């Protein structure tokens, strides 16, 4: 499996630090609002990487944080309004109730578009001690300093590689990024907070060696990724917008504390645009899973839509395109009904298709190429239907389109068949093999394939 690594700016092979498993960290949802399809495209990328690695036979440990503190202010706006506070005022709920509500909503939306739940979902509010410990370590190693107010800042000039990921060198930062945070006590305008002293109106705050306060957003991901994956792990994912400052700061913190490279591969996903504009709540330009359902669209069709574009590219969402994707997914499921049941093995032609599909997936998750392979297979006059079924059912481990849905629910044995099956199981239990064979013949004569399994007799259309 090869992936484009933002850090090295080339396509790198995934070579797990621990050969037994691939460790992957994904920047997760901020839980004071609903997820939109743009967020879901980014989380889908992480899940696709995991699916692709598992398809290749790897075991993956995937950690995705739940940001329920620490990224609640828009740091680029001068007012820096606490969004959790705004949500509380809107909804009349306490902070943890809001976090709980939107965490459940986020996970449900992810499931709806076929994103499997990560193995570990650590919450920021449950890892304050780890963030404080990491901050202490950085102070001790000369990478951070405490100011009079009780805030702690990372000293960007102390970390040699600062800016490598995003290309934002300190020179450029001096020229262009003065507005990130404004505290006259900071030594450099690009220094960022590891710990922020709590102001008088602050609701979510914790005790620390520097007084009551709350962690910076970036330190959350450093503390939790290293807690669950160790200080050397394989893949870190997020949206393009997180490259700077979030991931740049995360590298400075994690590597500043560990003293060596922590993450091997940084993978970033392109944005989803709606009618040519960035999807953003602030502009009202938002589409969510319930909007798809309302129009009678299968949310899994969103997967097929995203597969048409490479993950690093921006892509446009249009209702026409999702409508076409919905038609295509439903059509594929119907075709499966006619092709089933799956062949036990593949001929040379079928094997060739399988190799093409696997090569596309392994090649930096080239989903548009994988889509071409699917379409070619569907059209091929030379591959038997049963092999098409077997291939698509197997590829669905990556595609996640629930492609066997129609095929597996389309056919059910009749009451008469069920009665014969029960009779045959009773005969076999009584070791009456003559009766058992006779019942098998009767079922076969009804056009069925009869199989003996651990659960007893099972049948399917021959
Ligand atoms: Zn993060």
Instruction: Look at the block and give the residue holding tokens 């991901």.
Output: 221
Return the DSSP state at 263: E
How far apart, in Å, are the Cα atoms of 312 and each of 27, 152, 365? Answer: 16, 35, 10
Q: How far is the CA of 241 from the centre of ligand 1 (A)?
A: 11
In sequence order, the β-bridge partners of residue 22 are 60
DSSP for residue 310: -
Distance (angstroms) between ligand 1 centre and the Cα of 267 equals: 12
pLDDT band for position 236 (50/70/90)? very high
Q: For 103-120, what is each residue's pLDDT tens digit?
A: 999 999 999 999 999 999
> What is the spatial distance between Cα 135 and Cα 209, in angstroms, rounded to a whole number?
10
Tokens of 151: 């805030």
Given a cut of 70, whether residue 82 has pLDDT beyond it is: no
**Residue 74 pLDDT greater than 70, yes or no:** no
Alpha carbon of 247 to ligand 1 centroid (Å): 7
Asked if pLDDT for residue 78 goes beyond 70, the answer is no
As a whole number of angstroms, the distance between CA 383 and CA 386 comes to 8
Q: Which residue has the higher pLDDT, 416 or 96?
A: 416
Distance in Å, CA 239 to ligand 1 centroid: 10
User: Is 50 exceeded by the pLDDT of residue 152?
Assistant: yes
| pLDDT single digits (tens) 168-193 | 877 766 554 444 556 888 998 889 99
**pLDDT at 79 > cutoff 60:** no
In this prediction, residue 410 carries a pLDDT of 60
Q: Which residue has the tokens 């049948």?
A: 459
Q: How far is the CA of 158 from the centre of ligand 1 (A)?
A: 22
Residue 76 banded pLDDT, cuts 50, 70, 90 = very low
How confident is the prediction for the chain on average, in pLDDT? Answer: 90
Contacts for 430 with CB less than 8 Å, ≥ 6 apart: none
**Which of 11-20, 184-193, 434-443 has the lowest average pLDDT?**
184-193
For position 70, what pLDDT does the model report?
53
> Looking at per-residue confidence, does 338 or 263 come out higher?
263
Give the rounded percent of residues in the chain with a pLDDT score beyond 70: 92
Query: Closest by alpha carbon to 85, among 194, 217, 201, 218?
Result: 201
Query: Which residues does 117 contact at the CB level (< 8 Å), separation at least 6?
Result: 107, 110, 111
Nearest to 428 by CA among 410, 448, 454, 402: 454
Mean pLDDT value across residues 121-128:
95
CA of 356 to the centre of ligand 1 (A): 34
Q: Is the model's pLDDT at 462 over the cut of 80? A: no
Give me the mean pLDDT over the 335-357 stretch: 94
**CA 218 / ligand 1 centre spacing (Å):** 6
How would you class 194 by CB atoms within 10 Å of its CB: exposed for 0-12, middle for 13-18, buried for 19 or more? buried
CA of 15 to the centre of ligand 1 (A): 22
pLDDT at residue 253, rounded to an integer: 97
Lateral strand order in the sheet of 315-317? 277-278, 272-274, 315-317
Q: Is residue 453 predicted with pLDDT exceeding 70?
A: yes
pTM for the full model?
0.85
**What are the start-end ranges of the H helices in 215-288?**
217-229, 248-258
């Amino acid at each position: 499996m090869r992936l484009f690594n933002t850090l090295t700016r080339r396509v790198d092979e995934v070579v797990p630090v621990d050969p037994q498993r691939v460790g992957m960290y994904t920047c997760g949802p901020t839980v004071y609002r609903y997820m939109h399809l743009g967020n879901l495209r980014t989380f889908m990328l992480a899940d696709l990487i995991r699916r692709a690695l598992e398809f290749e036979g790897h075991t993956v440990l995937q950690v995705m944080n739940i940001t329920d503190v620490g990224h609640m202010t828009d740091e680029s706006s001068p007012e820096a309004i606490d969004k959790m506070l705004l949500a509380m005022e809107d909804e009349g709920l306490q902070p943890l109730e809001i976090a709980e509500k939107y965490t459940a909503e986020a996970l449900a939306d992810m499931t709806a578009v076929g994103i499997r739940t990560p193995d570990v979902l650590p919450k920021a509010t449950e890892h304050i001690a780890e963030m404080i410990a990491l901050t202490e370590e950085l102070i001790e190693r000369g990478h951070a300093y405490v100011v009079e107010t009780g805030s702690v800042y990372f000293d960007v000039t102390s970390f040699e590689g600062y800016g490598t990921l995003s290309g934002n060198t300190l020179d450029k930062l001096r020229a262009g990024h003065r507005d990130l945070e404004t505290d006259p006590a900071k030594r450099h305008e690009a220094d960022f907070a590891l710990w922020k002293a709590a102001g008088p109106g602050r609701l979510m705050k914790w005790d620390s060696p520097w007084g009551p306060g709350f962690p910076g957003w970036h330190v959350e991901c450093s503390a939790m990724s290293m807690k669950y994956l160790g200080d050397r792990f394989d893949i870190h994912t997020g949206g393009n917008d997180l490259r700077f400052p979030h991931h740049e700061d995360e590298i400075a913190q994690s590597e500043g504390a560990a003293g060596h490279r922590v993450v091997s591969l940084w993978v970033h996903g392109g944005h989803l645009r709606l009618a040519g504009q960035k999807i953003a709540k602030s502009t009202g330009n938002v589409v969510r899973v319930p909007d798809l359902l309302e129009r009678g669209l299968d949310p899994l069709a969103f997967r097929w839509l995203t597969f048409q574009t490479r993950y690093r590219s921006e892509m446009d969402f249009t209702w026409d395109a999702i409508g076409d994707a919905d038609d295509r997914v439903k059509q594929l499921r119907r075709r499966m009904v006619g092709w089933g049941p799956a062949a036990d093995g593949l001929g040379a032609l079928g094997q060739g298709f399988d190799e093409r599909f696997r090569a596309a997936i392994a090649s930096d998750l080239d989903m548009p190429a994988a889509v071409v392979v699917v379409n070619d297979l569907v059209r091929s006059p030379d591959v038997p239907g049963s092999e098409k079924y077997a291939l698509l059912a197997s590829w669905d481990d990556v595609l996640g389109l629930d492609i066997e849905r129609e095929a597996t629910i389309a056919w059910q044995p009749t009451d008469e068949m069920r009665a014969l099956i029960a009779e045959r199981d009773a005969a076999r239990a009584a070791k009456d093999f003559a009766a058992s064979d006779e019942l098998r013949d009767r079922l076969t004569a009804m056009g069925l394939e009869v199989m003996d399994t651990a659960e007893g007799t099972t049948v399917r259309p021959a």
